[in-house]
Amino acid sequence: MTFAINREENILRFTIKRPEIRNAINHEVIDGLEKLVSTVHNDSTIQFVVITGEGDEAFCSGGDLSIFHGLHTAHEAFPMLDRMASVLYNVATLPVPVIALVNGHAVGGGCEIATACDFRLVSSKAKAGFIQGSLAITSGWGGGTYLLEKLARQDIAMHMLCESKPYAADALLEKGWATQVYDGDKEQALQSFLIEMTQVEASVHRAYKQMLIRKWIGQNLLGQIKEEVKNCSLLWEAEEHHKAVQKFLSRKK
């Protein structure tokens, strides 16, 4: 199994379990995120959701290029991008706070997943970035839309998207992408982040989350995400994209 869903008291945790390829996303992990969403909707005792990656190297390296590079045209890429974007919107709009425990690198779609979460606790050793531009595509799972919505400074968000590179943890904190940066053990970091929040009634957290979701519905965030998906699928079919992916997959170390 390439993912795990575990419950610890009132925290539901989703772990991507593909450390050998830096927790890249395959179809099974997407199925797993769908399962996570339905589990939370069917259990009113869940108070927090945590998403993380196995190991110390990576939170998530985005889409599994060895699989998705089999998709050539916009027509072929669109269903994959659209499905993951929908799943991620369902994660972003879960009725409880969602925490990305960024234990290692979060690039490409991995950075999109973390950006869709309410909070990002980032290891001081991790780097994160919207590197899609270096593959001649944009973000395609809604991540660009979330970034432009969530960062206080639009110029910084645009710069992150247009530079298309990974940033060190301290820079991510300065830019306002990281909620907190931690040294050492990720479980301790999570515990200390949650300690005061757990003193507040879960119903209060749920009510605040509804406030946020209503705001996003009002501004048709999902419609904006669908446009991002469409644009990405058009760039996907260009020769430049396929060449860049081929270069990554065949690089010599």
Ligand X SMILES: CC[C@@H](C(=O)O)C(=O)SCCNC(=O)CCNC(=O)[C@H](O)C(C)(C)COP(=O)(O)OP(=O)(O)OC[C@H]1O[C@@H](n2cnc3c(N)ncnc32)[C@H](O)[C@@H]1OP(=O)(O)O
Residue 248 makes contact with ligand X by CB under 6 A: yes
48-56, 58-66, 195-203, 218-226 -> range binding ligand X (CB under 6 A): 58-66
95-103, 107-115, 179-187, 209-217 -> range binding ligand X (CB under 6 A): 107-115
Q: Which two tokens stand for residue 85?
A: 């974007």
Position among 48, 59, 68, 193 found at the interface with ligand X (CB under 6 A) = 68
Q: Mark residues 125-164: x for contact with ligand X by CB under 6 A, - for none.
A: ------xx--x---xxx-----------------------
Calpha distance 205→222 (Å, rounded)? 22
Position among 108, 178, 205, 228 found at the interface with ligand X (CB under 6 A) = 108
Residue 208 makes contact with ligand X by CB under 6 A: no
CB of 66 within 8 A of CB of 248? no
Instruction: Please give the distance of CA 116 from its chain centroid, rounded to a whole number.
Output: 5
Instruction: Please give the distance of CA 209 from its chain centroid, rounded to a whole number.
Output: 18
Residue 62 makes contact with ligand X by CB under 6 A: yes
Q: How many helices (H) and strands (E) does the chain have?
A: 11, 10
Calpha distance 81→139 (Å, rounded)? 9
Counting Cα atoms < 13 Å in the Cβ hemisphere of 169 gives 17
Residue 113 makes contact with ligand X by CB under 6 A: no
With H, G, I as helix, E, B as strand and everything else as coil, classify residue 100. strand
Residue 181 makes contact with ligand X by CB under 6 A: no
Residues in touch with ligand X (CB under 6 A): 21-22, 24, 57-58, 61-66, 68, 105, 107-109, 112, 131-132, 135, 139-141, 248
